[in-house]
């Protein structure tokens, strides 16, 4: 479960956590994250189209496909077309995509808001592309890489994490992906079913955390 201490104090420092299991130890950065079943917080972030976007602002939605992604990561770029397709297919069914760029623009200048606007235009993004300038949202969600997806199901005014992980299981070629995790998760939710595959992993670019 999430601890909200970090968020409430606004401290965005990286947390080092040690998992000790006999002879195995994992030392991870920022390992506090939403698990499937947790409730995710809302946000109010500026979009490349100039508006402010929050989940509460999309009253008709049944849920959301939140994707932490960026301008610079090769994996993010490889998935741009697939993200557009997800939005095309599912925004009309009540599950719009909201993309959030969490990278610190001082560490990664090509992830600046101006560069985000340029990329959204050049790649014809059909979904909102938001900047998490303070990294408050990505810290709350506990994403560690781009691209990383959280599928949220709306329950009244709350947002329950129904799936977390990769878009599919083949970054190189969408047509070769045998498991389309996000698509399957949202299809399950639309049928009122439980999500079958709730959690997956993928190689991705580490989020560029502000230096404390």
Interaction between residue 135 and other proteins (CB under 8 A): no
Interaction between residue 167 and other proteins (CB under 8 A): no
Residues 97-126 that bind other proteins (CB under 8 A): 108
**How, if at all, do strands 16-21 and 24-29 pair?**
antiparallel
Q: Write each residue from 172 to 191 as x if it is in contact with other proteins (CB under 8 A), else as -, in one continuous string.
A: xx--x-xx------------
Q: Write each residue from 62 to 81 as x if it is in contact with other proteins (CB under 8 A), else as -, in one continuous string.
A: ------------x-------
Residue 131 to residue 124: CA distance in whole angstroms = 17
Q: How far is CA 175 from CA 27, 116, 168, 212, in A?
A: 36, 27, 10, 42
Which one among 7, 46, 170, 210 touches other proteins, defined by CB under 8 A? 170
Which one among 45, 99, 152, 166 touches other proteins, defined by CB under 8 A? 166
Between residues 8 and 175, which has the closer beta carbon with respect to other proteins?
175
Residue 159 to residue 2: CA distance in whole angstroms = 14
Site size with other proteins, rule: CB under 8 A: 35
Which one among 145, 180, 183, 198 touches other proteins, defined by CB under 8 A? 145
Q: How far is CA 33 from CA 53, 145, 175, 196, in A?
A: 22, 12, 31, 21
Encoded tokens for 69? 């992604």
Interaction between residue 202 and other proteins (CB under 8 A): yes
Residues 19-38 that bind other proteins (CB under 8 A): 19, 23-29, 31
Q: How far is CA 178 from CA 8, 169, 175, in A?
A: 41, 7, 8
Residue 16 to residue 106: CA distance in whole angstroms = 23
| Contact status, residue 189 vs residue 208, Cβ threshold 8 Å | no
Which one among 16, 35, 155, 158 touches other proteins, defined by CB under 8 A? 16
Binding site for other proteins (CB under 8 A): 14, 16, 19, 23-29, 31, 74, 108, 144-145, 148, 165-166, 169-173, 176, 178-179, 200-208
């Amino acid at each position: 479960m999430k601890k909200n201490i970090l968020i409430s104090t606004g401290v965005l420092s990286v947390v080092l956590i040690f998992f000790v299991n006999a002879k195995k130890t994992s030392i991870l950065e920022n390992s506090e994250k939403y698990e499937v079943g947790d409730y995710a917080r809302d946000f109010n972030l500026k979009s490349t189209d100039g508006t402010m976007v929050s989940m509460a602002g999309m009253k008709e939605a049944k849920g959301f496909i939140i994707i932490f992604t960026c301008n610079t990561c090769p994996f993010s770029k490889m998935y741009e077309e697939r993200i557009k397709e997800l939005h095309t297919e599912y925004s009309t069914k009540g599950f719009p995509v909201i993309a959030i760029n969490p990278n610190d623009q001082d560490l990664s200048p090509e992830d600046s808001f101006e560069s985000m606007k340029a990329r959204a235009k050049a790649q014809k993004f059909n979904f909102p592309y938001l900047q998490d300038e303070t990294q408050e949202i990505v810290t709350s969600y506990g994403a560690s890489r781009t691209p990383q997806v959280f599928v949220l199901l709306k329950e009244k005014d709350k947002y329950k994490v129904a799936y977390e992980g990769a878009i599919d299981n083949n970054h190189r070629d969408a047509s070769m992906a045998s498991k389309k995790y996000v698509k399957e998760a949202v299809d399950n939710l639309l049928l009122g079913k439980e999500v079958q595959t709730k959690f997956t992993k993928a190689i991705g670019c580490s989020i560029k955390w502000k230096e404390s």
